[in-house]
Amino acid sequence: MTTNSFPPLRALQVFEAVGRCGGVTEAAKRLGISAGAVSQQIKLLEDTLGLHLTQKDGKRLSLTSIGRQYHESCAAAFESLRVAHAEIERAKNTRNLSISALPSLLSKWLAPRMLEWQRQHADLSVYLDGTHTEPSPDGYDIDFRISYGERIADVDNSVELFRDYVVPVCSPRLLAADAPLVSPAEILGYPLISVDWRPKFASPPSWREWLVANDVDCSELNENRQVFSLSSVAIQAAIDGYGFVLAQSSMVCDDLAAGRLVMPFALGLSLPWPYFLTWKPNAFDKPHCRSFHRWLVTRGKEQQQLNDSMLNVVA
């Protein structure tokens, strides 16, 4: 065969399995074929490419240096195919609901509330995808997306859910041995946990901004000790007693209600942008998507009311 012939897809699939499984025997088991058939496909691939991708390593077969590089590309390609196939299967199922949201908002706000929705719609398959990547506008796999930022005003299929505030919270254990805090300045006596979303998004208000807004001298403030890119991880660190975190009210309201966190000062700073909901143009062709839209918009309004009622917002 000439070296510019494209390798057979089956040979590529077998090669990807060999690299992923670490050997011929395990790959054969995963693929449901004989070890001899695996070896034949590997030889066919190497003959097509005109170079060796594998080498003997004792009794085992290992990848060469170029083989490892080639496998990395093959693995990425097959993963994309697997994802595409899963999306097709979900699209074929008319009794499903696919929702994409930012990871921390998904874990700390949406997912706990989705349990209520799922109890009321037990016949539906619900898929929750936590990612910073915005779904393709032309995609068919995601029905709804919760995003953060400046909503495009002239887009018909979008609505604002709520605008968040950042508030200082910590584990009650952190304050157990101390007298109740009297002024915001006393927070400087504790470790501070920060959240930095850059470069994906403009970060939420910082400790320095919150302290300045509350007339606290922070000239010697060091905000670089404990910094997390995910709000949910920063909040968990606070729950575990590692310090105060300036957290989004929507993401800590459940923890405050459960007593896992306390908020010594109901002083909040608004985030620059709201969370908003978008949906694919034909989402409302499915009745359960229309019902879900109404339900989620109502939850967003409730969250906005809770945010406004629990805080004294600093202008």
Q: Average pLDDT for consecutive 10-residue bins of the chain (315 residues)?
A: 72 92 89 92 92 84 90 91 75 75 94 90 88 71 86 70 94 83 90 83 83 87 78 94 94 94 92 90 85 95 89 59
Q: Is 257 contained in some domain?
A: yes
Q: Is 55 contained in some domain?
A: yes
Q: Is 315 contained in some domain?
A: no
Q: Are residues 129 and 180 in the same domain?
A: no
CB-based contact 313:177 (threshold 8 Å)? no
Q: Are residues 266 and 195 in the same domain?
A: yes
CB-based contact 282:142 (threshold 8 Å)? no
Q: Is 233 contained in some domain?
A: yes
pLDDT in tens, 165-220: 999 999 999 987 777 888 999 999 899 998 887 776 667 888 999 999 999 988 77
The dihedral over CA atoms of 240, 242, 248, 254, expressed in degrees to the nearest 10, equals 20
Distance in angstroms between the alpha carbons of the first and the last residue of the chain: 73
* Neighbouring residues of 282: CB distance < 8 A, sequence distance ≥ 6: none
Q: Are residues 84 and 16 in the same domain?
A: yes
Q: Are residues 285 and 141 in the same domain?
A: yes
The token pair that represents 216 in the structure block: 């606290």
Given 48, 65, 90, which residue is the final one in a domain?
A: 90
pLDDT at residue number 229: 86
Measured CA to CA, the distance from residue 245 to residue 207 in angstroms comes to 9
Q: Are residues 288 and 159 in the same domain?
A: yes
Measured CA to CA, the distance from residue 144 to residue 135 in angstroms comes to 9
pLDDT at residue number 2: 45
pLDDT at residue number 223: 63
CATH code: domain of residue 183: 3.40.190.10
Asked whether the CA dihedral 170, 112, 302, 150 is positive or negative, the reply is positive
The predicted model scores a pTM of 0.67
- The burial of 196, by beta-carbon neighbours within 10 Å (0-12 exposed, 13-18 middle, 19 or more buried), is given as middle
CB-based contact 105:275 (threshold 8 Å)? yes
Which residue carries 């887009």 as its tokens? 155
* Neighbouring residues of 153: CB distance < 8 A, sequence distance ≥ 6: none
Q: Are residues 187 and 245 in the same domain?
A: yes
Question: What are the CA-CA distances from residue 152 to residues 5, 261, 293 (Å)?
Answer: 47, 35, 19
Q: Are residues 148 and 293 in the same domain?
A: yes
pLDDT at residue number 251: 95
- Domain interval for residue 35: 9-90
pLDDT at residue number 140: 56
Q: What backbone phi and psi angles, to 5 degrees, belong to 108?
A: -95, -20
pLDDT at residue number 295: 95
Q: Are residues 157 and 170 in the same domain?
A: no
Bridge-based pairing state of the strands 226-228 and 192-195: parallel
Which residue carries 């501070």 as its tokens? 192
Q: Are residues 86 and 182 in the same domain?
A: no
Given 64, 90, 116, which residue is the final one in a domain?
A: 90
Given 59, 90, 121, which residue is the final one in a domain?
A: 90
Measured CA to CA, the distance from residue 120 to residue 276 in angstroms comes to 24
pLDDT at residue number 284: 84
Q: Is 1 contained in some domain?
A: no
The token pair that represents 266 in the structure block: 């109901």
CATH code: domain of residue 62: 1.10.10.10
Measured CA to CA, the distance from residue 217 to residue 72 in angstroms comes to 52
Using left for φ > 0, alpha for ψ between -120 and 50, and beta otherwise, residue 50 falls in: left
CB-based contact 159:277 (threshold 8 Å)? yes
Q: Are residues 38 and 73 in the same domain?
A: yes
Q: Is 2 contained in some domain?
A: no
Q: Are residues 170 and 259 in the same domain?
A: yes
pLDDT at residue number 153: 47
Q: Are residues 111 and 184 in the same domain?
A: no
What is the total count of domains within the chain?
3
